[in-house]
């Protein structure tokens, strides 16, 4: 079969890319060996958040959030989009200084925020323990249920003529050809690899699986109102080697709470790790003391696709027919629509809305060469 573009991987990023290309009138094929959106898209929280850990990430996540907000009316109810806002919680005065710095960063790119003092924080989230210093509210952030969003993108792409090739495993992708495990092949003008943590088709890039744990509770409507994240989260998220936990709790539209987060590089098995789960929930109960009384109905793990420099790989490769859209770490949900636009921009020769050079996959090749040298 001949396609204009073949998307490998039907997670939220691949599905968003498929929809972008189908909207542009391309003949699109999507190859998914498993259940669509069954990887990180199913395992993650679904937090749509502007992150300011680097200027490039700030630009991409701000762009992604804006695109989510624009399509909000078109999303089906199953996506459960809730613009609950993020509340970055400052434990002490030192973290309160960071709140001010963070506000300035957000203001520089036009992201609205609001500083809460201790009293305002208590009023906003009465379940938080007393004695916290304050926080930064980012009202434009939100939460979604990612598998439903990914499937919506996929179904829309199919409605516009895209073909889903389900249950087939690609084993090689080069020069406009995708070889499948059964020996057959597919051809396309362009190939977009969106296989998340799986780098078997592009072994020259470095994407490390970064294991995370999540717990979901029974329904407790109103227990928390914002996605609550400790300000120390970035410190935790940026440790490149050691296992870490951070307080990160999300209210679902159903009244359930999602409780995170943990980050482990060393652990490649999907089993629940009792020791880190204990640390993670202990951390959550430091901020929300009564959370320990709530009923947990499920615990699971997933793997984030982490790149060495914390930025995703979006764009062309030395093989001019092959493009990447992978390595999104914990921000694949937020960044999927922006990444899909950038991929579309490359394929259609459009001018991108943001600087796309920081995401060029070539840097991973250079890193790999540097490591070999």
Partner 1 sequence: MSMRWDVLIVGAGPAGMAAAVAASRGRLRVAVLDDNAAAGGQIWRRGLGETAEPAKQKMLHAFKECGAVLLAGRRVVQAPEPGVLEAWCDETNVLERYHYDRLILATGARERFLPFPGWTLPGVMGAGGLQALVRGGYDVRGKRVVVAGTGPLLMAVAAHLKHDGAKVVAICEQASMARMLPFAAQLAKKPSKILQAVALGANLRGVSYKTGCWPVAAIGNGRLQHVELTDGRRRWTEQCDLLACGFHLVPNLELPLLFGCRVENDAVAVNAMQQTSVAGVYCAGEPTGIAGVDAALLQGEIAGLAAAGNTGGAEKLVARSKAERAFGEAMTSAFRLRDEVLRLCDANTIVCRCEDVSYGSLKALADEKNNWTDAKLLTRCGMGPCQGRVCGPAVEALFGWKNASVRPPVFPVPIAAFITEPQSEFDNQQALQEMQ
**CA 90 distance to own-chain centroid:** 24
Does residue 274 bind partner 1 (CB under 8 A)? yes
Does residue 163 bind partner 1 (CB under 8 A)? no
> Least distance in Å: CB of 219 to partner 1?
8
| Nearest CB to partner 1, comparing residues 113 and 264 | 264
Q: Which of 310, 307, 238, 349 is nearest to 56 (CA)?
A: 310
Asked if 65 and 201 count as a contact pair (C-beta separation under 8 A), the reply is no
User: Radius of gyration (Cα) for the chain, nearest Å?
Assistant: 20
Rule CB under 8 A: choose which of 2, 97, 181, 292 binds partner 1: 292
Does residue 285 bind partner 1 (CB under 8 A)? yes
Rule CB under 8 A: choose which of 49, 259, 325, 336 binds partner 1: 259
How many residues line the site for partner 1 (CB under 8 A)?
Answer: 32
- For residue 129, give Cα distances in angstroms to 43, 89, 126, 215, 219: 28, 11, 8, 20, 21
Does residue 36 bind partner 1 (CB under 8 A)? yes
Six-digit token string for 75: 């999303």
Does residue 42 bind partner 1 (CB under 8 A)? yes
The verdict on whether omega for the bond into residue 298 sits within 30 degrees of 0, i.e. cis, is no
Q: Which of residues 96-115 bind partner 1 (CB under 8 A)?
A: none
Six-digit token string for 361: 């996959």
Does residue 291 bind partner 1 (CB under 8 A)? yes
How many other C-beta atoms can be found within 10 angstroms of the C-beta atom of residue 127? Answer: 17
Does residue 311 bind partner 1 (CB under 8 A)? no
CA distance 248 to 283: 9
Does residue 160 bind partner 1 (CB under 8 A)? no
Does residue 343 bind partner 1 (CB under 8 A)? no
Rule CB under 8 A: choose which of 299, 353, 360, 368 binds partner 1: 299
Does residue 168 bind partner 1 (CB under 8 A)? no
Does residue 10 bind partner 1 (CB under 8 A)? no
| Nearest CB to partner 1, comparing residues 59 and 284 | 284
Q: Which of residues 72-91 bind partner 1 (CB under 8 A)?
A: 78
Q: Interhelix angle for 332-348 vs 55-71, to 10°? A: 90
Instruction: For 93-122, give the DSSP string.
Output: HHHHHHHHHHHHHHHHTT---EEEEHHHHH
Q: Which residues bind partner 1 (CB under 8 A)?
A: 35-38, 42, 78, 147-148, 151, 215, 217-218, 254, 259, 272, 274, 277-278, 281-282, 284-285, 291-300
């Amino acid at each position: 079969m001949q396609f204009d573009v073949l998307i490998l991987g039907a997670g939220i990023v691949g599905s968003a890319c498929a929809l972008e290309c189908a909207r542009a009138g391309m003949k699109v094929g999507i190859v998914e060996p498993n259940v669509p959106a069954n990887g990180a898209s199913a395992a993650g929280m679904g937090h749509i958040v502007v992150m300011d850990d680097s200027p490039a990430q700030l630009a991409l996540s701000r762009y992604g959030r804006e695109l989510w907000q624009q399509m909000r009316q078109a999303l089906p109810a199953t996506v459960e989009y809730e613009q609950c806002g993020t509340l970055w919680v400052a434990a002490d005065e030192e973290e309160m200084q960071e709140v001010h710095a963070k506000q300035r960063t957000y203001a520089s790119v036009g992201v609205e925020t609001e500083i809460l003092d201790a009293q305002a924080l208590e009023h906003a989230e009465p379940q938080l323990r007393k004695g916290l210093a304050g926080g930064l509210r980012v009202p434009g952030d939100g939460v979604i249920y990612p598998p439903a969003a990914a499937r919506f993108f996929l179904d829309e792409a199919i409605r516009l003529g895209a073909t889903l090739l389900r249950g087939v495993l690609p084993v090689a992708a080069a020069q406009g050809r995708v070889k499948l495990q059964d020996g057959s092949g597919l051809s396309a003008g362009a190939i977009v690899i969106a296989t998340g943590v799986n780098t078997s088709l592009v072994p020259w890039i470095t994407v490390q699986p970064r294991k995370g744990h999540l717990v979901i509770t029974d329904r407790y409507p109103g227990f928390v109102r914002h996605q609550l994240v400790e300000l120390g989260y970035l410190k935790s998220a940026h440790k490149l080697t050691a296992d870490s936990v951070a307080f990160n709790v999300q209210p679902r539209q159903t009244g359930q709470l999602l409780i995170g987060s943990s980050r482990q590089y060393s652990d490649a098995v999907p089993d629940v790790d009792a020791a880190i789960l204990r640390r993670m929930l202990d951390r959550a109960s430091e901020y929300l003391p009564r959370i320990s009384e709530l009923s947990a109905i499920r615990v699971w793990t997933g793997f984030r696709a982490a790149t060495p420099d914390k930025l995703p790989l979006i764009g062309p490769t030395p093989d001019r027919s092959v493009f990447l859209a992978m390595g999104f770490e914990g921000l694949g949900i937020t960044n999927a629509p922006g990444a899909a636009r950038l991929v579309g921009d490359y394929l259609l020769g459009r001018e991108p809305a943001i600087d796309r050079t920081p995401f060029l996959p070539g840097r991973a090749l250079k890193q790999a060469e540097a490591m070999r040298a």
